[in-house]
Amino acid sequence: QKEVEQDPGPLSVPEGAIVSLNCTYSNSAFQYFMWYRQYSRKGPELLMYTYSSGNKEDGRFTAQVDKSSKYISLFIRDSQPSDSATYLCAMKDKSGGSNYKLTFGKGTLLTVNP
Amino acid sequence: EAGVAQSPRYKIIEKRQSVAFWCNPISGHATLYWYQQILGQGPKLLIQFQNNGVVDDSQLPKDRFSAERLKGVDSTLKIQPAKLEDSAVYLCASSLGLSPSVLTFGAGSRLTVL
């Protein structure tokens, strides 16, 4: 079983739809959870960063963490064509000393159609 | 603030040839990372530097990959000899401290091995 599982999609939705992206994980040591957005031929950029279980909202984006179920989600409200990208979940644990290791999911390719 | 610079953006080589990628992180960022992103996969950490010292190189195939960050600023990743399975995007990222709370990625160097 991989440490982080993410449905690769692709996911295609109409403009204005609510999008739900999900990841599950098996490593209980993961403490911090992130969502990165990666446009084609670009590097990933940090979208959301959460620590505790619960919801964190930033504009049209909501990150949800359920540590008991080892499940995280990213919701996008009122999706726009500019949201078309690959969304990567990422998690970190303490790999040793004060060093944190980041583990990524495979990414979900999202297309928002105008 | 200037971003993470990487070069070359694209490189095509024959198997068994060598290749080198260069990265200049954000000014003042002590930690530098090299990630490998194979098509359809999430980024995988190859090596992490703190200033000019190696923090984690556990997933670096040391028989063919090498990396250095001699003066604690820019870094070079080398592959020699290249294999077909090395075809990937090589992403450089940097962060202020050891914990990758906010990783800033470069656009990546896309390698095709024929």
| Mean pLDDT (10-residue bins), chain B, 114 residues | 91 97 94 94 93 90 94 94 97 82 90 97
Quickly tell me which residue has 């105008």 as its tokens.
A114
B51 CB-side CA count, 13 A: 1
- Chain B, 30-49: which have a CB under 8 Å from a chain A CB? 40-45, 48
The mean-pLDDT minimum among A11-15, A21-25, B26-30, B32-36 falls in B26-30
Q: pLDDT tier at A1 (50, 70, 90 boundaries)?
A: low
In the numeric block, the tokens 């957005």 are attached to A37
Q: Check the CA dihedral A22-A25-A28-A32 and report its sign.
A: negative
Does A37 have pLDDT greater than 80?
yes
Q: Give the pLDDT confidence score for residue A33 in this predicted structure.
A: 93
Q: Does B75 touch chain A (CB under 8 A)?
A: no
Partners of B102 on chain A (C-beta within 8 Å) are 46, 49
Reduced to 3 states (helix: H, G, I; strand: E, B; else coil), residue B13 is strand
**Is the pLDDT reported for residue A80 higher than 90?**
yes
> What's the rounded Cα separation, in Å, for the pair B48 and B55?
5
**pLDDT on residue B99:** 66
pLDDT of amino acid A28: 87
Rg (alpha carbons) of chain B, rounded to whole number: 13
d(CA A114, CA A79): 10
**Residue B39 structure tokens:** 């098509």
Interface mutation vs chain B, best among A102, A103, A104, A106, most B CBs within 10 Å: A102
Residue A96 pLDDT > 60 = no
Q: Is A41 within 8 Å of B107 when comparing Cβ atoms? A: yes
* Rounded Cα distance, A58 and A72, in Å: 16
Q: Which two tokens stand for residue A60?
A: 């049209």
| CA–CA dist B44, A33 (Å, integer) | 16
